[in-house]
Amino acid sequence: MVAGSNPQNRLEVRRTLESEGYDVAETSAPDQTIQEVCSGEYDLLILDSAIEGIGPYELCRAIRARSDLGIIVLRCEKRELTGSDVLNAGADDYLPSMFVVGELLARVRAILRRVPRPGADEHLVLLPDRTIDLKSHQVTGPHGRVWHLTPKEFLVLKYLLAHANQTRTHQNLAQAVWQRNAGGEVEYVRIVIGQLRRKLEPDPEHPRYILTERSIGYRFRLPQGVPARRTDTLATARSG
C-alpha cells in the first residue's frame, strides 16, 4: 500500500514497485489508510509524509497499535519531525526526500523478508541470534547449534511467547503449565526458566529475552521488529 496526499508522488512510487512485480494499491485519506492496512491484506505500507494534515508520527502510532505490517516513511517535511521520531512511533524504516530508487527497493525487500506471511513459517519465531521452532520444539543458534526443548520447557516458553512483552506471574505460569496454583510450583518455574535461558540466551546471567520482574514473575521481551504471535496461534499451554 502506498499512502499520501500527493497523487504524483504516489504514482511514482507505485510504478517503481509495480515494475519489480509487486501488487500495489493506493490510498489518500488517513482513516482509509488505517482501515486498509490493518485489514491483514497488505505486507508493507509506504507512507509519503503527511496525509490531510495527519503527520506520519500519528499515523504510525495508530497503525502499529493494530498491525505488524512493515512501514516505510518517505519525505518527512516538518523540520521538527526527524527520522528517529517516526521510527520511535513504530515505522520500520525512513527515507528522506532525496533518495534513489535502488535504495527504496532494497529497503522494501529487506522489510518484506521479515514480515510474516499468512500460513508461512507461523511456527518460527526469528530472534536476532536464535530461531525458535514451535513445531519441532527446537532452538537453533549461531553456527547451526541446536537445543531441544523438554516438554515443560516448551510449554513455559510457548506461554511466555503467547503473552510476549507482558509480565506473567509465577501463578500464571504454574496454572498454565502445571494446571494448579503457584504454591508448590514456584521453584519448578524458576528451574525451567533457568534451563530455558541456558538454551535461549547468549548470556544466561544477563538475559535479553526472558526477563525477571522482581517479586512478580517473568516477561518475554520481543526485540523491535520481531512480530508477536497471537494467543490463538499459541494456545494456552496444558500439561501432558
Sign of the C-alpha dihedral computed for residues 214, 218, 223 and 225 taken in this order: negative
pLDDT score at 80: 47
On the question of pLDDT at 229 being above 70, the answer is no
In 10 A of CB 40, how many CB atoms?
10
Residues 68-82 have a mean pLDDT of 70
Residues 200/210, Cβ–Cβ less than 8 Å = yes
At 237, the pLDDT band (50, 70, 90 cuts) reads very low
Q: Where are the domains of the chain?
A: 2-114, 124-220
68-72, 182-186, 187-191: least confident range: 182-186
20-24, 154-158, 221-225: least confident range: 221-225
Sign of the C-alpha dihedral computed for residues 67, 69, 70 and 75 taken in this order: negative
Distance CA 56, CA 95 (A): 12
Domain range 2-114, CATH architecture: 3-Layer(aba) Sandwich (3.40)
Residues 75/3, Cβ–Cβ less than 8 Å = no
At 238, the pLDDT band (50, 70, 90 cuts) reads very low
Distance CA 188, CA 124 (A): 26
pLDDT score at 196: 95
Cα distances (angstroms) measured from residue 107 to each of 17, 130, 205: 12, 23, 35
Q: In terms of Cα–Cα distance, which of 232, 142, 158, 145 is closest to 192? A: 158
Residues 51/28, Cβ–Cβ less than 8 Å = yes
Distance CA 226, CA 22 (A): 23
The answer as to CATH 1.10.287.1080 being correct for domain 124-220 is no
Cα angle: 133, vertex 112, 229; to 5 degrees: 40
DSSP state of 231: T
Sign of the C-alpha dihedral computed for residues 176, 177, 183 and 187 taken in this order: negative
Distance CA 83, CA 88 (A): 9
Distance CA 236, CA 221 (A): 18
pLDDT score at 234: 38
Q: Is the model more confident about 185 or about 71? A: 71
Each residue of 128-169: pLDDT tens digit?
888 999 888 999 988 889 999 988 889 899 999 988 899 999
Each residue of 46-69: pLDDT tens digit?
988 778 778 788 888 889 888 888
Quick one: cell of 33? Answer: 489508510
Cα distances (angstroms) measured from residue 3 to each of 77, 79, 107, 183: 15, 21, 17, 53
41-50, 111-120, 137-146, 166-175: least confident range: 111-120
pLDDT score at 228: 58
